[in-house]
Amino acid sequence: MTVSKDDKWTEKKISRREMLKLTGVGMAGVAIGASGLGGVMKAMGYELLEDDSTTAQNKVNFYGPHQSGIVTPVQTHIYFASLNVLLTSKQELQELFKQWTPLVVRLMNGETMVEATTNTRVPTGDTGEAAGLDAANLSITVGIGPSLFDKLAMQHLKPTALQDLPHFPKDQLQQEWTGGDLCIQACADDPQVAFHAVRNLVRAASGKVEIKWSQAGFNSFPAKGGTPRNLFAFKDGTGNPTDVQELKKAVWVDNGWLKDGSYLVARKIQMHLETWDRTSLKDQEATFGRHRDSGAPLGKTQEFDAFDVEEKDSNGEYLMPDTSHTHLARKSGVQMLRRSYSYASGVMSNTGAHDAGLLFISFQKDPAQFIAVQNSLGRMDKLNEYITHRGSAVFACFPGVQKGSYLGEALFNAL
């Protein structure tokens, strides 16, 4: 057996097949408890290095210049989790990301967290609910919140831009849906695959992290393709940056340890469906500034038609009302990448109204972009009559990972 010592962060490198032979897993059924195969390997001084599968069906690659789940084509489901860190040192945090990295690769390959064992007397290394499912285009995005730097005495490495978002007009934030030290965004074309990913990563980090809040969401795409609709039936995501230069300008951080990463803003927005459903279509379209069926700006015919917010009709009235959501957002002059999902979580216990809305997620090279848009919407946005912002968080999402590296390596190299 050949062992390589030229890896950046492991002392030894060994194939999984060789490891299974060495430990007797699958033959003698070595007990692999909740710590999983990684625990056995770590005890022997080895770390498991995983590669992107070349044969998995519906597979998104893990390795690359940027993390998956940002410019990855939007999947139909999300499970988003904000976590509190229970660790007490930077070294423990580094070990957590080293532990998670190969596990994320396995999950995105559509594999279980660990190889199967015949020992039925211990908990399994994988919870098993995704067995028999393919990779389902799973993407996993990991980020760190501003509170983490204070908690682990890493303030000198905290990017200036990574600050809790300010209070905005009409905010009614609830603490149980706000903030967090870490986040995991799992998106997939199967809801069970997305949930399984977060569940098992948190389980593998038992005693190191705990879930602060989480939210499942969904998107449905038209049969012939195109932009998905939110629960108000309007298209959500029109006008996102798409080409390399637009993404470079709007999404990717271009300096420091976060270079090639991005900032994630998450907002849990309750939509008051009962009030909306009693509103005329004309008023609904005036609220968004777009035609509902086509998604076109008011006064235009196609979803992606160019428009000028200052354009007026023959009576001197704005074609797109100056209190409409699209008018005010465009007037900010700021672009960001929106990657939002609808959610439906039963009914409100005190009113019986739908507990439903939008898990708004955006990626930008600086949270100031989101702040500028939100400030432009301000109190004038007619959409405020129908929504309430309940949760809020911001995270710095690491750059991508190269083979032989691990999530967040640049941060720890800067220590």
- HEC letters along the chain: CCCCCCCCCCCCECCHHHHHHHHCCCCCCCCCCCCHHHHHHHHCCCECCCCCCCCCCCCCCCCCCECCCCCCCCCCEEEEEEEEECCCCHHHHHHHHHHHHHHHHHHHCCCCCCCCCCCCCCCCCCCCCCCCCCCCCCEEEEEECHHHHHHCCCHHHCCCCCCCCCCCCCECCCHHHECCCEEEEEEECCHHHHHHHHHHHHHHCECCEEEEEEEEEECCCCCCCCCCECCCCCECCCCCCCCHHHHHHHCCCCCCCCCCCEEEEEEEEEECHHHHHCCCHHHHHHHHCECCCCCCECCCCCCCCCCCCCCECCCCCECCCCCCHHHHHHHCCCCCEECCEEEEEEECCCCCCEEEEEEEEEEECCHHHHHHHHHHHCCCCHHHHCEEEEEEEEEEECECCCCCCCCCHHHHHCC
Asked, for residue 35, whether it belongs to a domain, the answer is: yes
pLDDT per residue as tens digits for the range 349-382: 788 889 999 999 999 999 999 999 999 999 999 9
pLDDT band at 126 (very low <50, low <70, confident <90, very high): very high
pLDDT band at 26 (very low <50, low <70, confident <90, very high): very low
pLDDT per residue as tens digits for the range 241-294: 999 999 999 999 999 999 999 999 999 999 999 999 999 999 999 999 999 999
Asked, for residue 168, whether it belongs to a domain, the answer is: no
Asked, for residue 15, whether it belongs to a domain, the answer is: yes
Asked, for residue 304, whether it belongs to a domain, the answer is: no
Give the pLDDT of residue 47.
Answer: 52
Give the pLDDT of residue 29.
Answer: 37
Give the pLDDT of residue 28.
Answer: 35
Percent pLDDT > 90 in the chain is: 79
Structure-model confidence comparison of residues 89 and 3, the more confident one: 89
Give the pLDDT of residue 13.
Answer: 42
Asked, for residue 29, whether it belongs to a domain, the answer is: yes
Give the pLDDT of residue 23.
Answer: 36
pLDDT band at 392 (very low <50, low <70, confident <90, very high): very high
Asked, for residue 211, whether it belongs to a domain, the answer is: no
Give the pLDDT of residue 27.
Answer: 33
In the predicted model, what is the mean pLDDT of the chain?
89
Give the mean model confidence (pLDDT) for residues 202-228.
94
Asked, for residue 25, whether it belongs to a domain, the answer is: yes
Give the pLDDT of residue 11.
Answer: 39
Number of domains comprising the chain? 1
Asked, for residue 187, whether it belongs to a domain, the answer is: no
Structural domain span for residue 25: 1-48
Give the mean model confidence (pLDDT) for residues 97-113.
97
pLDDT of 90 over the 70 cut: yes
